């Protein structure tokens, strides 16, 4: 049981979540989500005020400063409510239930999320950020809402309880309607429907699939790349590739890309990818690392290799625990100077024109300095380059967010330099500015480690490491997977934990994980482990993925209609049991799982899992066929299920040069429906599990490749040239 902390701190002081700890000194008598709060609300007959956010959320910080640190507001909350604070990243099940309510009743959502509940946890009113006072026309302030709802609860309690019963019933019925399964699989016309939707929303000038704000949306890249690979010569496929390539290049040039510390910010507030929301999320880095690796694999453009390497460097340097796990995020806000009393968004990342000229003073040519070259290249202006419209609080006034409007050849031509000289100057300047940044107050680091996001990052390192032939990336992925197994996995029960935390000494402790994993923790980690197997060919990762898939099926699968619930339904405080059906900043677990089931089915000869993948697609038939833009990752599974997988089995000696050449040959080609198995003398357990593998062997003592469809294989080949030909012709006749 959480108890009141000493020294003027509330019960959140006993929690582990960085977000909850940020609120431990508020004058609000906060409770964590749990029975103690629920019992208090019932015994005292009070409404519950639920506040949901996360530690790197800018507007969460704003609402805390304005309202939760306000003594007067704290007094109102303590007198009339039981106030509960939830970290949405720690408890996505709680967040998902009440976000469904907020979106249904207000037409929008976001964080901080503010919801008023009856003592039996039924929602009656909600929204997102509330200003403390009635500042805006038609929008009541937080104090007004608190007082009004408290009065209504006293006067109209019975009526409110009846209304909340109806609200909850309506939400339950609405979600059931969305889950009505179809009788057949969606056909391939859904692919063209999604392509046309993306084409219609595509910004041909700056890339991306909206005007503003602009989000990276890696699930769109996954679909478009897969569509391209289906038939590379078709006009639609060429357009699909072009949209991806242009968008990824414009993002890499924009301010959403951190040109100094590397990695990507959350999203751009404008059409040009210029002024970002400055927080950095682990799930973005993992997915974008895959996107840029895929782009390099398809195009061979070295710029995509560079960006992928930069993302990996950033995460390894700034978001990594010493034992292997990945931290969640870096905040958008920080103190602009060591002595400052108020944080500003982007303070860690932006530059004034004068600061750059002081730091980068070396002469280069015709009285020009490195600062001149750098400022021209990154569009730095004397009075700042941020549109005031994108800076409503004047936090970026006079500052510059680095963006490349042109290119290295453009800058070289402008100053009469060679491209090599410009590249060297830019690299030197970046190094100086990175060192200078380390003297600034750093943004808050959310060092909570989340299983699902770690799974996405493992995928990133594994996929990029394979494509770029970077063994350090592969080792980093293995270290993370091993960390999760040792620290966030209960071997005896076969279950994952959602989160792991770091103590004051920077250590983690096995079993110190209060929240059991949700469906996305399983699905994202399984994807990461399968990617890691296909990059390192270590069977233990594939076999662990199989165990996790079996546990995911046991805990979350709907045996009646198919598909996965988001939670197990065992927690009575979760008043709605939902299935995710939308790919957003993170791909939804049903989309990821459909792909996982198809891959594992073919790797491990589990045909029943292919049927489960088909059941997911049938369940979401309406969504896939009518609004496929909501589930682009699920349409990647539709592509896979409609096309026989290309099973590539390589047989050779562990560490041999001829086997490695064949592995590199496969890694150089983008084949989204491939299943890759390497038999190198270390795979006996896998061969025992999959009998047909026992029939494959080296030919003439050399590393040998078999390209198979439905467990029937082409004639074996043992030269890279012959393997390339087989990979180029998906219709090769099996023997």
Give the pLDDT confidence of 412-427 residue by residue, as tens digits. 999 999 999 999 999 9
Q: Where residue 709 falls among pLDDT bands split at 50, 70, 90?
A: confident
CA–CA dist 194, 281 (Å, integer): 27
Percentages helix, strand, coil for the chain (3-state, rounded to 5) are 50, 10, 40
Q: Where residue 135 falls among pLDDT bands split at 50, 70, 90?
A: confident
All structural domains of the chain, each given as residue ranges with its CATH number in brackets, are 11-177 (3.40.30.10), 190-320 (1.50.10.20), 349-439 (no CATH), 646-728 (3.40.30.10)
- DSSP code for 138: T
| DSSP-assigned states of every residue in 654-694 | TT-HHHHHHHHHHHTS--TTEEEEEESSS-HHHHHHSGGGG
Mean pLDDT over 325-348 rounds to 94
Token representation of residue 615: 């059941």
Query: Does residue 730 have a pLDDT over 60?
Result: no
Residue with tokens 């003594």: 71
Residue with tokens 């493992």: 458
Q: What is the predicted pLDDT for the residue at 732?
A: 33
CA–CA dist 246, 204 (Å, integer): 8
Mean pLDDT over 478-505 rounds to 93
Q: What is the predicted pLDDT for the residue at 510?
A: 65
CA–CA dist 212, 270 (Å, integer): 5
- DSSP code for 492: T
Mean pLDDT over 319-328 rounds to 96
Mean pLDDT over 332-360 rounds to 95
CA–CA dist 508, 514 (Å, integer): 13
Q: Where residue 733 falls among pLDDT bands split at 50, 70, 90?
A: very low
Query: Does residue 391 have a pLDDT over 90?
Result: no
Query: Does residue 3 have a pLDDT over 60?
Result: no
Range in 280-284, 555-559, 677-681 the model is least confident about? 677-681
Query: Does residue 5 have a pLDDT over 60?
Result: no
Residue with tokens 């790197």: 56
In degrees and rounded to multiples of 5, residue 381 shows phi and psi of -115, 150
Are 198 and 629 within 8 A, CB to CB?
yes
Which residues in 41-54 are b (16+ Cβ under 10 Å) and which e?
Answer: beeeebbbbbbbbb
Token representation of residue 166: 């109806």
E strand spans, 417-458: 445-446, 449-450
What is the CB neighbour count within 10 angstroms for residue 167? Answer: 17
Q: Which residues, listed in sequence order, are joined to residue 5 by a DSSP beta bridge? A: none
Query: Does residue 320 have a pLDDT over 90?
Result: yes
Q: What is the predicted pLDDT for the residue at 688?
A: 83
Q: What is the predicted pLDDT for the residue at 511?
A: 58
Give the pLDDT confidence of 257-273 residue by residue, as tens digits. 999 999 999 999 999 99
Q: Are strands 674-679 and 646-651 parallel, antiparallel or unpaired?
A: parallel
Token representation of residue 726: 């087989």
The kind and range of the H/E element at 177 are helix 157-178
Give the pLDDT confidence of 599-656 residue by residue, as tens digits. 999 999 899 999 999 999 999 999 999 999 999 999 999 999 988 888 899 999 988 9
CA–CA dist 312, 286 (Å, integer): 9
Give the pLDDT confidence of 41-92 residue by residue, as tens digits. 999 999 999 999 999 998 999 999 999 999 999 999 999 999 999 999 999 9
What is the CB neighbour count within 10 angstroms for residue 415? Answer: 18
Mean pLDDT over 691-716 rounds to 86
Give the pLDDT confidence of 677-688 residue by residue, as tens digits. 999 887 778 888
């Amino acid at each position: 049981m959480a108890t009141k902390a000493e020294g003027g701190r509330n019960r959140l002081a006993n929690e582990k979540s960085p977000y909850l700890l940020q609120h431990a000194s508020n004058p609000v008598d906060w409770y964590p989500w749990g029975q103690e709060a629920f019992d208090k609300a019932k015994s005292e007959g009070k409404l519950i005020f639920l506040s949901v956010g996360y530690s790197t959320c800018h507007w969460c910080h704003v609402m805390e400063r304005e309202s939760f640190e306000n003594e007067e507001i704290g007094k109102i909350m303590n007198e009339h409510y039981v106030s509960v604070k939830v970290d949405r990243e720690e408890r996505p099940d709680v967040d998902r239930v009440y976000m469904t309510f907020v979106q249904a009743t207000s037409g929008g959502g976001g964080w901080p999320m503010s919801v008023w509940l009856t003592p039996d946890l039924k929602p009656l009113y909600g929204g997102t950020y509330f200003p403390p006072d009635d500042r805006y026309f038609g929008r009541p302030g937080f104090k007004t809402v608190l007082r009004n709802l408290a009065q209504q609860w006293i006067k109209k309690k019975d009526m409110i309880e009846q209304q909340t019963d109806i609200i909850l019933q309506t939400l339950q019925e609405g979600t059931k309607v969305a889950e009505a399964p179809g009788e057949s699989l969606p056909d391939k016309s859904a692919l063209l429907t999604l392509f046309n939707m993306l084409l219609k929303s595509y910004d041909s000038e700056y890339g991306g699939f909206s005007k503003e704000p602009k989000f990276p949306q890696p699930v769109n890249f996954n679909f478009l790349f897969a569509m391209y690979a289906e038939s590379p010569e078709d006009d639609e496929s060429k357009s699909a590739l072009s949209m991806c390539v242009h968008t990824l290049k414009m993002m890499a040039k924009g301010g959403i890309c951190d040109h100094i510390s590397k990695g990507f910010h959350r999203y751009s507030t404008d059409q040009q990818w210029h002024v970002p929301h400055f927080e950095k999320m682990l799930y973005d880095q993992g997915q974008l690392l895959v996107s840029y690796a895929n782009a390099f694999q398809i195009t061979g453009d070295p710029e995509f290799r560079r960006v992928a390497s930069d993302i990996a460097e950033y995460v390894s340097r700034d978001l990594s625990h010493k034992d292997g796990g990945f931290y969640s995020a870096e905040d958008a806000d920080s103190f602009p100077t060591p002595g400052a009393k108020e944080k500003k968004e982007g303070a860690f990342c932006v530059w004034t024109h004068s600061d750059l000229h002081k730091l980068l003073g070396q002469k280069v040519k015709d009285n020009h300095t490195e600062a001149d070259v750098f400022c021209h290249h990154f569009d730095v202006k004397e009075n700042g380059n941020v549109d005031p419209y994108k800076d409503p609080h004047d936090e970026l006034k006079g500052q510059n967010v680095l963006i490349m409007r042109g290119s290295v050849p453009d800058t070289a031509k402008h100053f009469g330099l060679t491209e090599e000289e410009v590249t060297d100057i830019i690299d030197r300047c970046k190094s100086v500015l990175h060192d200078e940044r380390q003297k600034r107050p750093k943004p808050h680091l959310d060092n909570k480690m989340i299983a699902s996001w770690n799974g996405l990052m493992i995928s990133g390192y594994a996929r990029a490491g394979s494509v770029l032939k970077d063994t350090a990336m592969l080792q980093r992925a293995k270290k993370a997977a091993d960390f999760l197994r040792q620290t966030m996995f209960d071997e005896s029960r076969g279950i994952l934990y959602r989160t792991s935390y770091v103590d004051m000494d920077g250590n983690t402790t096995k079993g110190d994980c209060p929240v059991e994993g949700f469906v996305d923790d399983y699905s994202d980690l399984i994807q990461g482990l399968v990617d890691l197997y296909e990059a390192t060919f270590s069977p233990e990762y594939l076999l662990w993925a199989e165990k996790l898939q079996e546990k995911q099926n046991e805990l979350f699968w709907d045996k009646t209609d198919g598909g996965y619930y988001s939670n197990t339904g065992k927690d009575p405080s979760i008043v709605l049991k939902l299935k995710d059906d939308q790919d957003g900043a993170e791909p939804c677990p049903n989309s990821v799982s459909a792909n996982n089931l198809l891959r594992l089915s073919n790797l491990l000869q589990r045909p029943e899992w292919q049927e489960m993948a088909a059941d997911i697609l049938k369940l979401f038939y309406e969504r896939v066929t009518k609004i496929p833009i909501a589930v682009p990752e699920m349409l990647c599974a539709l592509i896979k299920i409609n096309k026989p997988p290309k099973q590539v089995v390589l047989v050779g000696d562990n560490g041999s040069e001829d086997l490695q050449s064949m592995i590199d040959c496969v890694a150089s080609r983008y084949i989204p429906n491939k299943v890759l198995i390497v038999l190198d003398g270390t795979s006996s357990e896998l061969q025992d599990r999959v009998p047909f593998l026992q029939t494959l062997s080296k030919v003439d003592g050399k590393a040998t490749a078999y390209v198979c469809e439905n467990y029937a294989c082409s004639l074996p080949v043992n030269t890279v040239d012959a393997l390339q030909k087989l990979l180029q012709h998906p219709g090769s006749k099996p023997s």
